[in-house]
Amino acid sequence: MRFRILGLLFVLCVSTAIAGQTKDSDPKKKPKPKADEEEALTFTTADLERKYGKSKRAKAETSAAKSAGKGRQQSDAQAAPSPDAEAGSEPAAKPKPASDPLAQLQASQQAQRDTEQRRAEARKKVTAAQQKVTEIEKRLAKLRNPLLGSAKPADDDKGAWEGKNQAERLRLTEESLAAAQEDLAAARKELAEIR
């Protein structure tokens, strides 16, 4: 029984494969070329100039060619100088050559590096100011809540805290917090201005 079922499946698979080959391999039918294979679109320089106008480089080359043509005419005119011409006068200045693209690229890359360096320094200032604000806020919380532990003054506030009571220390800490928040806002503004 098992062999009969396997045999029927085999015959079915083989007949399906043969039927598929006969449909695909019909010699009378010619395969139609696909649209991608027919013709690729091509554009010439004239097409692009008609559509978008001349490029800056082409304009510069044509103006240089025109000035070179004028230079030839001027050199012919200079061969026979007029009596009004000054003896020490020089011919018209030549047009400036196009600036060096490599120098422009290096200058732009240097400007980017400088901007990134300024941005990194500004980020460091923001981070330092944020840490200072966080530290002062923790100290302020300890001064307000004695259950959190005793607040220790910052290194720059040690002299100011000596001989002061809790209320005066709280006032000094609030003042230093306000100053630190102003510094943080200034550092963030400086970072935002660097673009």
What is the Cα–Cα distance from 2 to 137, expressed in whole angstroms? 83
Instruction: Give the per-residue pLDDT at 28.
Output: 59
Length of the chain equals 195
Query: Is position 156 within any domain?
Result: yes
130/187 same-domain check: yes
Per-residue pLDDT of the chain (195 residues; tens, 9 = 90+): 777 787 777 887 777 777 666 555 555 555 565 555 566 778 788 888 888 887 777 777 777 777 766 555 555 445 445 444 444 555 555 656 567 888 899 999 999 999 999 999 999 999 999 999 999 999 888 888 877 777 777 777 777 777 778 888 888 889 999 999 999 999 999 999 987
Instruction: Give the per-residue pLDDT at 132.
Output: 93
Task: Give the amino acid at 180.
Answer: A
What is the Cα–Cα distance from 63 to 10, expressed in whole angstroms? 80
Query: Is position 8 within any domain?
Result: no
Structural domain for 159, as ranges: 122-193
What is the Cα–Cα distance from 43 to 40, expressed in whole angstroms? 10
The Cα-based distances of 186 to 105, 129, 173 in angstroms read 33, 10, 20
The Cα-based distances of 151 to 59, 147, 166 in angstroms read 74, 11, 10
Query: Is position 65 within any domain?
Result: yes
* Domains contained in the chain, number: 2
Instruction: Give the per-residue pLDDT at 45.
Output: 80
Classify 163 in phi/psi space as left (phi over 0), alpha (psi -120 to 50) or beta. Answer: left
Query: Is position 176 within any domain?
Result: yes
